[in-house]
Structure 1
Amino acid sequence: MATEDVSLDLSTLLSSEERDFLIRNNGDQVKVSNLVGKIVGFYFSGSWCGPCRNFTPLLVEVYEQLSSKGDFEVRVSDLVGKNILLYFSAQWCPPCRAFLPKLIEAYHTIKGKGNAFEVIFISSDSDQSTFDEFYSEMPWLALPFGDERKQILSRKFKIKGIPAAVAIGPSGRTITKEARMHLTAYGADAFPFTEEHLKQLEEEIEEKAKGWPEKVKHELHTEHELIRAKRKACICKGCRETGYSWSFYCKECDFDLHPKCALKEDEKNSNELTLFEVKMDWQGQKQAELWMQILLLVFAAAALATGYIIGSFRMMMLIYAGGVVFTTLVTVPNWPFFNRHPLKWLDPSEAEKHPKPQKAVVSKDKKKSSRK
């Protein structure tokens, strides 16, 4: 069958009066005019179609292979008006690999809130295959491997080591060269990296730190107590992540724990104690036992009377079985009305102040007199 050779104009074919853009699966808009001069494929499909679902993974694989080879490009002009993060990194760098999951998480969170935000990977990898392998883990844009703009940007922002992240505002002004530190400390909350916003976050942390204990004991460092301290940068011995600002620190051993790691154990113990206190309501247990006896007797009498009247042993057993289930639902679960008189456990420090009961000692003379 002969195919008619028809020249089509993409703008005419895909644009309308209401819309002149297409969308990506993450919600980003791509103007139709940006596709002019490119090879474009139209994929007609539906989720209800079995062959479509089988073919889609193959098409995605081909698309990703072409994308990784640079066959799909994004114009720099499309980034104007967005918050941009220049991410200097490489696969051979262990801190870069450790930081990447945190950056990916922050990226999806920031984009998920509808912010005009994009990350650009600027590689220091040694060859194309290493670049391709490392970049395949990232959901954002990148400079092509070996692009001369990498050297220009490194000199402009005075990049001395990696990983490094430079935040650029919608106007093109550099906001901070320490975006990596802020992302490590605050995660996605660091966005948009402005001085005013970061100052507000710091004030919130300072206020929260007032409620933390001055010292803690932790099973990961039993030799000494950990002191609450301000640290410029440290690696937590609990989660192995780099942290900034507050830490629980042992100066003698150079041992750090992030507050979230140091206080997690105390929070867990506190929650377990609260749960234990709620369950220890002796009056509630006594009340539940009484209700259970009454309800079982009532249902047993009702089942026996009904079965005798209608002459059905089966009906009698069904009524009694239903009564057992109902009684179980009422009396076995830890309902709030069974916990109106929780026991107040004495704090260990307070217990030491109270004298322990002593055994009564009976003298031998007293024993002899009692025998007489």
Structure 2
Amino acid sequence: MRTEMKHGTQPLVNGNSEDFSSSRFSSLLATKDRDFLLSPTGAQVKVSDLEGKVVGLLFAANWYPPCRSFTQMLAGMYDELKRNVRDFEIVYVSSDEDVDAFNGFYGHMPWLAVPFSDLETKKSLSRKYDVEGIPCLIILQPRDNKEDATLRDGVELIYRYGVQAYPFTSQRLEQLHRENRERHENQTLTNLLTNHNRHYVLGHPGLQQVPVTSLMGKTIGLYFSAQWCVPCVKFTPKLISIYHKIKQMLATNGNDEEFEIVLVSSDRDQASFDSYFSSMPWLALPFGDPEIKNLVRHFDVQGIPCLVILGPDGKTITRHGRNLINLYQENAYPFTDAKVKQLEKQLEEEAKVLPSVVYHAEHRHRLNLVSDGNGGGPFICCVCDEQGSSWAYQCLECGYEAHPKCVRAVNRDSIPVTS
């Protein structure tokens, strides 16, 4: 599965000078028996045709859903770029299970590919670029310029900037990072949620138009979600419950604070959007609105469900609202750093009375209490399938992890033989 990238968004340099020779791509992608790559039509394209181009090596596989979703988005960007520039190409490096899976997956791609049968070249490329997870997009520059030689975080850059990232040079990326910082510094609810054609969001009943100005001064959650997404469908009922609890808590406290959520939908058709939104008590951007793609890139949303929290001033408080909801429920409000630190301290105190070892009714091995400092960290709870961090019960034998609140402690003798 795809691992979390740790390199940020700065280009990383591969210091091997032979990579920057005039036959750079031939030395990487050709063998003594093969000097070609496959095209989508089945034709053979000379590897030497890549010389002088910016080349992306796409490491992916049909069996992993994030690869399929990223590949679909990358194909749209690729087609847009190829209409305007000629010095860009992508080469698929497959981790598919068999040739039928390869043919089926590659059949939806518009770029070149290393033949599925050439296992040695695929292994060599994975080792050379230290590919630890998929999807992975390595960007190679054609010139002998070590500053721009090898960029390893192409997936993140495509999600964040799309075609604007081209030609993936350090100069271009520095410019985009600067512009992105300026956008976040100047961010307001108006420039996030409106455009020259629309100054409202949709509400209930009957998809009524609610002016964005009416949301000013409120804490806002932007909920990136879709009906086709199984984790979204599982998380939405929890979020609805927490939404009502936060609203009730604010009403009971009698202060002037207000909380609202706006759905930013990735549904595939109007009917799905209408059905999904009808189950929610909050607001929404219209289906297919052009601002949706801008918001996805602005907040670097790489997977759904995702809950971005905006403060009353329209500035971003956190992009990890979903995780905070899972950890702290309605107590996470107002999601600020100060509140999170308070909750973490409270969690630390509660953890002091937790047993260091337990047996869980749904797992046959013993579970050890771990934290960030002694082998814990971000994880997906095997009980509720939601994110967690900090304290967890972890199986040292098989990697099973669970929120402390999800573990049902039992005597060892009551554990079934199989789990």
After TM superposition, the score normalised by the length of structure 1 is 0.51
Question: CA shift at 1:216, angstroms?
Answer: 1.0
Cα distance, 1:67 vs. partner? 4.6
Superposed displacement of residue 180, structure 1: 1.2
Residue 225 of structure 2 aligns to which amino acid in structure 1? S
Shift of residue 262, structure 1, vs aligned partner: 2.3
1:142 pairs with 284, 292, 295, which one? 284
Whether 1:203 aligns to 2:351 is no
Shift of 1:167: 0.7
- Pairing 1:89–2:230 present: no
| Alignment correspondent of 1:315 | none
CA–CA distance in 2 between the matches of 1:121 and 1:153?
Answer: 12
C-alpha deviations, 1:260-285, integer Å up to 9, x for none?
A: 2325558xx9xxxxxxxxxxxxxxxx
Matches within 5 A, 1:177-196: 177-196=319-338
Of 212-221 and 92-101, more deviation after overlay is shown by 212-221
- CA distance in 2 between counterparts of 1:130 and 1:86 reads 19
Q: Which residue of 1 aligns with 2:395?
A: 250
Within 5 A, what are the aligned runs for 1:356-371?
none
How far apart are 1:244 and its partner, in Å? 2.8
Aligned to 2:241: 105
Overall identity of the aligned pairs, in %: 46
Task: Tell me the distance in 2 between the aligned counterparts of 1:164 and 1:239.
Answer: 17
Q: Which residue pairs with 2:215 in the alignment?
A: 79
Other structure's SS at 1:193 match: coil
Determine whether 1:127 maps to 2:269: yes
The yes-or-no answer on 1:226 pairing with 2:367 is yes
Tell me the distance in 2 between the aligned counterparts of 1:225 and 1:67. 49
Q: Is the CA contact (8 Å cut-off) linking 1:106 and 1:187 kept in structure 2?
A: yes
CA contact (8 A) 2:361 2:409 kept: no
**Structure with the higher helix share, 1 or 2:** 1
For 2:383 and 2:229, how far apart are their aligned partners in 1? 22
Q: How large is the RMSD of aligned CA atoms in angstroms?
A: 2.2
The alpha-carbon distance between structure 1 residues 194 and 123, as it changes in their structure 2 partners (threshold 3 A), is same
Per-residue CA deviation, residues 53-96 of structure 1 (Å, 9 max, x unaligned), is xxxxxxxxxxxxx95653x1110000001000100000111111
Provide the C-alpha distance between the structure 2 equivalents of 1:250 and 1:143, rounded to a whole number of angstroms.
43
CA drift at 1:143: 0.4
Higher relative contact order (CA 8 A, sep 6+): 2
**Distance of 1:133 and 1:233 partners within structure 2:** 33
Q: Secondary structure at the match of 1:121?
A: strand
Query: Deviation per CA, 1:109-148, whole angstroms, max 9, x where unpaired?
Result: 1111224000000000010000011111100000011111
**CA 189–242 in structure 1, closer or farther in 2 if over 3 Å, else same:** same
SS at match of 2:391: strand
Q: Distance in 1 between matches of 2:406 and 2:320?
A: 24
CA distance in 2, matches of 1:174, 1:240: 26
1:215 maps to which of 331, 354, 357: 357
5+ residue gaps, structure 2: 1-202, 252-256, 415-419
Asked whether 1:159 is paired with 2:301, we answer yes
Q: How many residues align?
A: 201
Residues 140, 79 of structure 1: alpha-carbon distance in 2 compared, 3 angstrom cutoff = same
Query: Contact 1:227–1:248 at 8 Å: present in 2 too?
Result: yes
Contact 2:358–2:410 (8 Å) recurs in 1: no
Which residue of structure 1 lines up, in the alignment, with residue 134 of structure 2? Answer: none
Q: Determine the structure 1 residue equivalent to 2:63.
A: none
Q: Deviations over 1:26-60 (max 9, x none)?
A: xxxxxxxxxxxxxxxxxxxxxxxxxxxxxxxxxxx
Deviation at 1:257, TM superposition (A): 2.8
Secondary structure class of the residue paired with 1:188: helix
Decide whether aligned partners of structure 1 residues 166 and 241 sit closer, same or farther in structure 2, where only a CA change above 3 A counts: closer
Kindly indicate whether residue 383 of structure 2 is the aligned counterpart of residue 238 of structure 1: yes
Q: Distance in 2 between matches of 1:163 and 1:196?
A: 24
CA distance in 2: counterparts of 1:198 and 1:67, whole angstroms:
32
Aligned residue for 1:173? 315
CA, structure 1 residues 105+127, in 2 after alignment: closer, same or farther (shift >3 Å)? Answer: same
The alpha carbon displacement at 1:258 in A equals: 2.1
**In the aligned structure 2, how far is the partner of 1:263 from the partner of 1:207?**
20
Question: Given the two structures, how large is their TM-score scaled by the length of structure 2?
Answer: 0.45
